[in-house]
């Protein structure tokens, strides 16, 4: 197959590009190279003759019309992906996460692409105090980010309903691993700890996330692409529930740093308290997450420790301005 992956220079996208090549297929990587897109993330495959790169915005219809020509499937991962940035600048999010999704979806339909996979998030369900979200639960997004992702999901489901398009949606939980931009909890706290900088815990730190390693998230998307039923949604969760404080303590242990680095700061507005996913449906297609949380977190800390040349340049320039806006007054 020739698979078009959008956002392939990002965190999950770059891992998914490697998975597709390892499975013996061709990849076209479409990426706008926003602040989160890093060509270094795919440097190891850039010379593979089965890999090609298109520098474009998924909201550019003409560019998407050209990019989708001759591909068998589209996996749409390109997104503005950070909740805190969506709170600072909500208008930026629908442009990619809703409009961009609608544009590349339309281009795929016009070209007769076989399958369109929309990579979505558990955050579209909102927060759940106990139990686990199922795919049939209502969409109740709480942040500008998750509202935009929900809008993308609805565009994709509408294309199935209206045109009979072959679409599948995955809703992944909090993902971690190598090459994650150091604005998200785990890479931010690991890199801050390595630099003896404060770890800014929002509020009481007792919010719960359902963590999944990036390799397990990617095999989940791959399973949905290959085995999923058209028009269906599949939750992709690791089942590793942990409070932010627990994750913080583990990071301090693994980096050998003191808990005096922990700084409780003002909470995120509208902060979802807990996410948890029921993954029975995807497991029914033969998928299961394989990583142990303890080992995968230790491996992730080891990766950031060994790859300061990857993250130190990121934590300057645009990042510093963002960091000051986000944390300066907290
Ligand atoms: P990321 O921020 O690391 O990467 C996003 C990529 O998309 C970047 O390479 C960026 O340049 C590209 N991009 C952004 N806007 C674009 C546009 N208009 N056109 C083309 N490319 C564009 O994101 P990530 O964490 O790897 O997330 C990937 C996808 O998975 C997103 O759709 C996100 O909503 C979803 N998701 C992420 C997580 C998580 O915990 N990281 C969990 C569940 C779902
Ligand atoms: O659940 C899936 C989602 O997970 C994805 O769709 C998003 O793309 C991804 O960013 C992530 O969203 P979260 O908001 O859950 O992730 P983040 O890493 O920003 O925050 C995780 C938890 O840690 C959350 O409860 C907020 C808290 N946090 C985060 C940061 C950045 C802090 O306490 N301090 C921080 O500085």
- What is the whole-number distance in angstroms between the Cα of residue 243 and the centre of ligand 1? 24
- For residue 33 the two structure tokens come to 């190279």
DSSP state of 177: S
3 state DSSP class of 171: strand
Residue 316: the pLDDT is 87
Q: What's the half-sphere exposure (Cβ side, CA atoms, 13 Å) at 218?
A: 22
Q: How far is the CA of 39 from the centre of ligand 2 (A)?
A: 24
Ligand in closest contact with the CA of 200: 2
Mean pLDDT of 60-86: 98
* pLDDT at res. 178: 98
Distance from Cα 81 to the centre of ligand 1, integer Å: 5
Distance in Å, CA 157 to ligand 2 centroid:
26
Site residues for ligand 1, CB cut-off 6 Å: 6-7, 9-13, 30-34, 36-37, 57-59, 77-81, 96, 100, 119, 121, 149, 172, 174-175, 181
Helix (H, G, I), strand (E, B) or coil at 241: strand
Alpha carbons 169 and 75: distance in angstroms, whole number: 10
Q: Tell me which residue has its CA closest to atom 3 in ligand 2.
A: 174
What span, in angstroms and rounded, lies between the C-alpha atoms of 148 and 106? 18
Q: H-helix or E-strand containing 13?
A: helix 11-22
Q: How far is the CA of 248 from the centre of ligand 1 (A)?
A: 24
Q: Is 200 in the pocket of ligand 2 (CB under 6 A)?
A: yes
The DSSP annotation for 198-234 comes to -EEEETTS--EEEEEEHHHHHHHHHHHHHHPPTTEEE
Rounded to an integer, what distance in angstroms lies between the CA atom of residue 219 and that of residue 9? Answer: 18
Shortest-distance atom of ligand 1 to CA 122: 43
Gap between the Cα atoms of 52 and 294, Å rounded: 35
Test site for ligand 1: of 9, 12, 176, 181, most ligand atoms within 8 A of the Cβ? 12
Judge if the beta carbon of residue 188 lies within 6 A of ligand 2.
yes
pLDDT exceeds 90 at position 317: no
pLDDT digits (tens, 9 = 90+) for 157-214: 999 999 999 999 999 999 999 999 999 999 999 999 999 999 999 999 999 999 999 9
Q: Which amino acids are annotated catalytic?
A: 122-123, 145
Task: Check residue 274 and give its pLDDT.
Answer: 98
**Beta strand pairing status for 2-6 and 26-31?**
parallel
Q: What is the pTM of this model?
A: 0.98
Residue 32: helix, strand or coil by DSSP?
coil
Phi-psi region of 286 (alpha: psi -120 to 50; beta: other; left: phi over 0): left
Tell me the percentage of the chain whose pLDDT exceeds 90: 98
Instruction: State the helix-helix crossing angle for 11-22 and 214-227, rounded to 10 degrees.
Output: 60
Ligand nearest to the CA of 31: 1
Average pLDDT over residues 54-63: 98
- Ligand 2 contacts CB of residue 174 (under 6 A): yes
With a cut of 90, say whether residue 139 has pLDDT above it: yes
pLDDT tens, residue by residue, 272-291: 999 999 999 999 999 999 99
Q: What is the pLDDT of residue 203?
A: 98
DSSP state for residue 260 in the 8-state scheme: G
Given the CA of residue 82, which atom of ligand 2 is nearest to it? Answer: 10
Q: What is the CATH number of domain 2-175+210-236?
A: 3.40.50.720
Selection from 109, 110, 137, 112 nearest residue 125 by Cα: 137
Q: What is the pLDDT at residue 269?
A: 98
Using alpha carbons only, give the angle 279, 282, 287 rounded to the nearest 5 degrees: 105
Q: Is the CB of 310 under 6 A from ligand 2?
A: no
Task: Identify which ligand lies nearest to the alpha carbon of 276.
Answer: 2
| Whole-number pLDDT of residue 244 | 98
Confidence band of 17 (pLDDT split at 50, 70, 90): very high
Q: Average pLDDT of the chain?
A: 98
From the CA of 149, give the closest atom in ligand 1.
34
Tokens of 317: 């320039």
- The C-alpha atoms of residue 52 and residue 191 are separated, in whole angstroms, by 31
């Amino acid at each position: 197959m020739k698979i078009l992956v959008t956002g392939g220079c990002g965190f999950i996208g770059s891992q998914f590009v490697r998975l597709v090549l390892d499975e013996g297929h061709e990849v076209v990587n479409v990426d706008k190279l926003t602040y989160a897109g890093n060509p270094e993330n795919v440097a190891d495959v850039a010379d593979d003759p089965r890999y090609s790169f298109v520098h474009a915005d998924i909201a550019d219809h003409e560019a998407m019309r050209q990019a989708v020509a001759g591909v068998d499937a589209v996996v749409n991962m390109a997104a503005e992906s950070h909740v805190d940035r969506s709170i600072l600048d909500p208008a930026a999010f629908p442009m990619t996460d809703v409009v961009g999704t609608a544009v590349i979806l339309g281009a795929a339909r016009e070209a007769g692409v076989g399958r369109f996979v929309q990579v979505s998030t558990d955050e579209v369900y909102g927060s759940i105090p106990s139990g686990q979200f199922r795919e049939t639960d209502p969409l109740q997004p709480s942040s500008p980010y998750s509202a935009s992702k929900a809008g993308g999901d609805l565009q994709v489901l509408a294309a199935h309903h209206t045109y009979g398009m072959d679409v599948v949606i995955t809703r992944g939980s909090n993902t971690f691993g190598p090459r994650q931009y150091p604005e998200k909890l785990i890479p931010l706290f690991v890199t801050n700890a390595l630099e003896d900088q404060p770890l800014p815990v929002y509020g009481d730190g007792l919010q719960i996330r359902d963590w999944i390693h990036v390799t397990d998230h990617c095999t989940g998307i791959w399973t949905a692409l290959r085995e999923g039923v058209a028009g269906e949604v599949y939750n992709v969760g690791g089942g590793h529930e942990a409070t932010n404080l627990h994750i913080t303590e583990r990071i301090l242990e693994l980096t050998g740093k003191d808990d005096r680095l922990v700084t409780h700061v003002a909470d995120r507005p509208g902060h979802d308290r807990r996410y948890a996913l029921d993954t029975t449906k995807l497991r029914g297609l033969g998928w299961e997450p394989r990583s142990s949380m303890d080992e995968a977190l230790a491996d992730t800390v080891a990766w950031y420790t060994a790859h300061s040349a990857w993250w130190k340049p990121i934590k300057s320039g645009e990042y510093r301005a963002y960091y000051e806006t986000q944390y300066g007054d907290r």
